[in-house]
Amino acid sequence: MISLYQSTNILFSFQSINVFLLFKYVVVFYDFKQIELKWQKFWSSNNIYKVENKSPKPKYYILDMFPYPSGAGLHVGHPLGYIASDIVARYKRHKGFNVLHPQGFDSFGLPAEQYAIQTGKHPQKTTEVNIKRYKEQLDKMGFSFDWSREIRTSKPEYYKWTQWIFISLFESYYDLKKDKAMPITELIEKFKSQGTKNLNAFTNSDVIHFSSEEWNSFKSSKKNKILLDYRLAYISDTEVNWCKDLGTVLANDEIINGVSERGGYKVEKKIMRQWSMRITAYSERLLDGLNDLNWPDSLKEMQRNWIGKSKGASIKFKIKNFNYEIEIFTTRPDTLYGVTFMNLAPEHELILKITDKNKIKNIKKYINLVSTKSERERLADNQIASGIFTGAYAIHPLTSEELPIWISDYVLAGYGTGAVMAVPSGDERDFSFAKKHKIPIKNIFKNIDVSKSAYTQKDGFTLINSGILNDLKFEDAYIKIINHIETLGCGKETVNYKIRDAIFSRQRYWGEPIPIYYVNGLPRPIEKKYLPIELPTVDQYLPTAEGHPPLGNADNWAWDERRKKIVSIKLINNEYIFPMELNTMPGWAGSSWYFYRYMDPNNNEMFVGEEAVNYWKDVDLYIGGSEHATGHLLYSRFWQKFLFDLNILPVSEYARKLINQGMILGSSAFIYRKRGSDKYYSKNKIKKNHVEPIRVDISFVDDSDQLDYVALINNDKNFSKSKFILENGKFIVTREVEKMSKSKFNIVNPDKICNEYGADTLRMYEMFLGPIEQSKPWNTSGITGVHSFIKKFWNLFFSNDVFDVNYNNPSKKSIKVLHQAIKKIDNDINSLSFNTCISAFMICVNKLTNLNCKERSILEPLTILISPFAPHIAEELWSLLGNNNSIVDEKYPVHDDSLLVETEKNYPVSFNGKVKFTLELSLELSNEEIKSIVMNDERTILQLKNRIPKKIIIVSGKIINIVN
RNA sequence: GCGGGUGUGGUGAAAUUGGUAGACACGCUAGACUUAGGAUCUAGUGCUUCACGGCUUGGGGGUUCGAGUCCCUUCACCCGCACCA
């Protein structure tokens, strides 16, 4: 009758008596603590989840974003994504895939170093302690990670390869013709043979032109300087985001709203000699690649915005009385005739060269004022169009009008060329600037009033006062003007990208050392065979007295080129010893390629072996937070494409599908203190105006918001002398939903839930909370529902706490219930809709309980079905059913559609004669009558309408087609 | 300002993608059993009405035999970017 378990049924039938007798008298309660511990031990001691790189099965690689092991430990928000991925991993194993589901630690980073500065404890020590705690917590939740593949970015065996990739970047340039990265040696060959003629190498510096003869006559230092303009990892004087309080530079993505992401400190602009990654060479490919990725639209859009491609023109304006030109970028070359002045960013290099001598003092003052402003202050000033006139004039390339050159901080040095042609009639900012500084506004839009505001739309106008562009609309004017300026040679069509090269140095200790040493101030890579360059020990983690990064504190930190090793810096009296790079790499370096190391974690020859990478290829499903959209997820795509160019990796995108799990928010608790006193008031006793909110640890607060103030007084010194004003004998707090964090005292530790309800309940409950992508506040009020479901499921296998499962043929109803569940859950896991899976389980178990189903042929497949969600209880029941193997090896049950004939549904149907139905009717209709409905024979339909009382019963449960 | 998203009971949420809205769970109400318990079980529970019935997916409009779902419009909230020339 049931086909899916035929083979196992036969196997059981001859040993059934033994099994039955054995279990008949064993009394078992659902003791989740003992069960979960037992199976966690079983899994790890038998290496159940160890995965091999060779298998006849198809591969499936499911990846979580690896955590940074912070001192606070895991809270209930962290596992959300891990639970989802673990369900998929276990499900795919049941489905016959060879599943790679690894985990590791992003173990370099700021917090451990800040902690080291405060306590003197080596970051490595604290990191190790934290990792140990994380692993214990993770294992408690029953994740099926293959720990034999664990990686840590701070281990030398790992960062050896981060350094290796860095050197590869240093030794490469971007060939524009081949549209890929190539060895720098090829560029050198080109320079040798043809100089910069027909140069097709990407750079964002000004190209210095030279012939082959000139190149060959250059000193090697000059050659090296020139090459730095082309290398994909390069050092240069760059304007950086300097964060004084953290003592380091920050990348653009590490700054949120003008302050540092970590700590929220002030950030200012500063010129410093820094390493950068030439990610801009990959702008177009990074943009392009997004189209084929199955990633959330919002995330792809964020990356598109970050790359910020815009089409327009670059135009050169000559400067009166000088031999300089100002190059600008504009997306509106059609408004070229409306230019009435030019505007430069305060950091623009031409300013001091063209400024009037008598104005130079004020100009310098202005520039100084702007540069000392923090990013945030500059943003705050955005309503005020501050600026100053240089005294110089640019020449309009078409009309030869003289255009005053101004400086203003609304022009950003980092975008385009750091200079704009100002068209007050067509741009809001130019308009308000012109108004404020009384610069003329020239209207170029026919019948449009620009006296009050600029007209910024790209349609709905024709041009006037625009020379050759008169009477044209946007599209035509755009094309015509570009042709015109290209013919004149004063401009060309250009594509501009907002994205900047990524600053790669950090003035920090706890990061990967950059494998570079210096000869005459120029960087040289350490040969790859001498990697890793290990992080030296230092006695303090602060910058040196001379202001060098912390690595300057190490006394064994110089490269001996002759001995090919790092030696003590005290020995510098020997010409072969060179200073090492003192900066370290940023946090994103180690995380930009880690997913490949899992494939082959112990390879000493390469960061990933060819065989391993050809087997696993890429990540099938990547789960992690959307906060990494413009950081990790962009940088890692960049490195991926680079390593793909080197033919090391087989694909140019590493994760075809990605989902963002939502955040689980905490519910902070506040109590109110009377100002200047030590009295606290319960929620409804608060007297207005005189209280201030104070956070209290939510472990002292229960679900009904009642504060255990006695425990608080006894456990927290800060409250030992406080007085609490109660209401009805209780003290009530107020709640607020915020991000879970240690500093907000609102962390819920998953260990607590595991102890109270068990890991299986925690896993299912987190999935039951709602769709995986959604953020939601943590709330335990519903957890009993899930817990009692698990107990109900357990009780299906028992009668009066005695294991009781039989071999009888199940009822038709039970079979149907099972098959409905299989179909629904299979479907929902594939669409990652885990919350509806849980509902389906609940319905299924409730129905089977009501049917008093004890038949093995139903319960056994149900156990497999549930095992991805609640693996411990599944294993336990699986073994109680008499199996010796782990349930992970079991095949997933398959549903039979023929058993799922739908129940009859009644739909009220009304006719108005215009509708054509294709129906199967259970009414006694002749073929002719059905045909006439299909043929839209109005008369027959009307007759039918009279014959049918009120309803048509549709047997198939669905109207197949409606044609209007 | 630009981009992305979300609005469904007291609460978290479902809805086979246009086919009986509110599945499942929490909470609540009543009852049962008890060496009172925050245990278990049974029944009820969108709103409204004594009832028959009527109303209901942020608001308004439209397409359709039929709309939570599609289109237009409007409001509210969340997230990301933001002086981007």
Distance CA A91, CA A87 (A): 6
A647 CB less than 7 Å from any atom of strand B: no
CA-wise closest residue to A326 among A318, A334, A335, A338 = A318
How confident is the model at residue A951, as a pLDDT? 34
User: Would you call the peptide bond into A908 cis, given omega within 30 degrees of 0 as the criterion?
Assistant: no
A630 CB less than 7 Å from any atom of strand B: yes
Distance CA A628, CA A625 (A): 6
CA-wise closest residue to A619 among A570, A654, A662, A580 = A654
Beta-carbon contacts of A645 under 8 Å, excluding residues fewer than 6 positions away, are A172, A180, A181, A182
Distance CA A195, CA A209 (A): 8
The residue whose CA lies nearest the C1' of nucleotide B26 is: A782
Closest nt to residue A384, judged CA to C1' = B83
Strand B bases, protein C-beta under 7 A: 3-5, 12-15, 19-20, 23-27, 38-41, 64-66, 78-85
Backbone angles phi and psi of A209, in degrees to 5? -90, 145
CB < 7 Å to strand B — which of 95-134 in chain A?
none
CB < 7 Å to strand B — which of 256-275 in chain A?
256
Strand-pairing partners, residue A516, are A525
Closest nt to residue A833, judged CA to C1' = B14
Distance CA A68, CA A131 (A): 9
Interface predicted TM-score (ipTM): 0.93
Helix (H) or strand (E) holding A490: none
CB < 7 Å to strand B — which of 393-422 in chain A?
409-412, 415-416, 418-421
The residue whose CA lies nearest the C1' of nucleotide B25 is: A785
Other CB atoms within 10 A of residue A135 CB: 16
Closest nt to residue A630, judged CA to C1' = B80
| Interatomic separation, CA of residue A794 and C1' of nucleotide B43, rounded (Å) | 25
The residue whose CA lies nearest the C1' of nucleotide B39 is: A788
| Interatomic separation, CA of residue A792 and C1' of nucleotide B39, rounded (Å) | 14
How confident is the model at residue A7, as a pLDDT? 26
Q: CA dihedral defined by A524, A525, A530, A531, rounded to 10 degrees? A: 140
CB < 7 Å to strand B — which of 498-527 in chain A?
498
Backbone angles phi and psi of A248, in degrees to 5? -150, 165
| Interatomic separation, CA of residue A24 and C1' of nucleotide B43, rounded (Å) | 35
Using DSSP, state whether A888 is helix, strand or coil.
Answer: helix
| Interatomic separation, CA of residue A313 and C1' of nucleotide B37, rounded (Å) | 78
Q: Tell me, rounded to whole angstroms, the distance of Cα A93 from its chain centroid.
A: 26
| Interatomic separation, CA of residue A670 and C1' of nucleotide B77, rounded (Å) | 24
Distance CA A580, CA A66 (A): 31
A229 CB less than 7 Å from any atom of strand B: no
Closest nt to residue A253, judged CA to C1' = B81
| Interatomic separation, CA of residue A626 and C1' of nucleotide B75, rounded (Å) | 28
Distance CA A881, CA A618 (A): 38
CB < 7 Å to strand B — which of 810-839 in chain A?
833, 835-836, 838-839
Report the alpha-carbon angle A705-A709-A710, nearest 5. Answer: 140
Tokens 């094309």, residue located: A479
CB < 7 Å to strand B — which of 895-934 in chain A?
905-907, 909-912, 914-915
| Interatomic separation, CA of residue A839 and C1' of nucleotide B22, rounded (Å) | 14
| Interatomic separation, CA of residue A20 and C1' of nucleotide B40, rounded (Å) | 28
Closest nt to residue A306, judged CA to C1' = B81
Let me know if A493 is exposed, middle or buried by CB neighbors in 10 A (0-12, 13-18, 19+).
middle
Name the H helices within A27-147: 32-45, 79-94, 110-119, 123-140
Closest nt to residue A786, judged CA to C1' = B25
Report residue A924 as tokens. Answer: 């006694």
Distance CA A934, CA A951 (A): 18
Q: CA dihedral defined by A227, A228, A231, A237, rounded to 10 degrees? A: -160
How confident is the model at residue A550, as a pLDDT? 94
Closest nt to residue A343, judged CA to C1' = B85
pLDDT digits (tens, 9 = 90+) for A501-512: 999 999 999 999
Q: CA dihedral defined by A367, A370, A375, A378, rounded to 10 degrees? A: -130
| Interatomic separation, CA of residue A884 and C1' of nucleotide B7, rounded (Å) | 51
| Interatomic separation, CA of residue A451 and C1' of nucleotide B74, rounded (Å) | 31
How confident is the model at residue A745, as a pLDDT? 87
How confident is the model at residue A908, as a pLDDT? 38
Residues of chain A with pLDDT under 70: 1-28, 374-384, 571-575, 688-689, 901-964
Is the distance from CB of A903 to CB of A813 less than 8 angstroms? no
Closest nt to residue A378, judged CA to C1' = B83
Report residue A750 as tokens. Answer: 């998953």
A373 CB less than 7 Å from any atom of strand B: no
| Interatomic separation, CA of residue A778 and C1' of nucleotide B13, rounded (Å) | 15
Distance CA A490, CA A701 (A): 71
Report the alpha-carbon angle A161-A164-A170, nearest 5. Answer: 150
Distance CA A107, CA A586 (A): 12
Other CB atoms within 10 A of residue A253 CB: 18
A312 CB less than 7 Å from any atom of strand B: yes
How many helices (H) and strands (E) chain A has is answered by: 31, 36
Report the alpha-carbon angle A127-A44-A60, nearest 5. Answer: 85
A789 CB less than 7 Å from any atom of strand B: yes
pLDDT digits (tens, 9 = 90+) for A517-559: 999 899 999 999 999 999 999 988 988 888 889 999 998 899 9
| Interatomic separation, CA of residue A726 and C1' of nucleotide B36, rounded (Å) | 28
A786 CB less than 7 Å from any atom of strand B: yes
Beta-carbon contacts of A678 under 8 Å, excluding residues fewer than 6 positions away, are A721, A722, A723
The residue whose CA lies nearest the C1' of nucleotide B12 is: A769
Q: Which conformational region is residue A198 in: left (phi greater than 0), alpha (psi within -120 to 50 degrees), or beta?
A: left
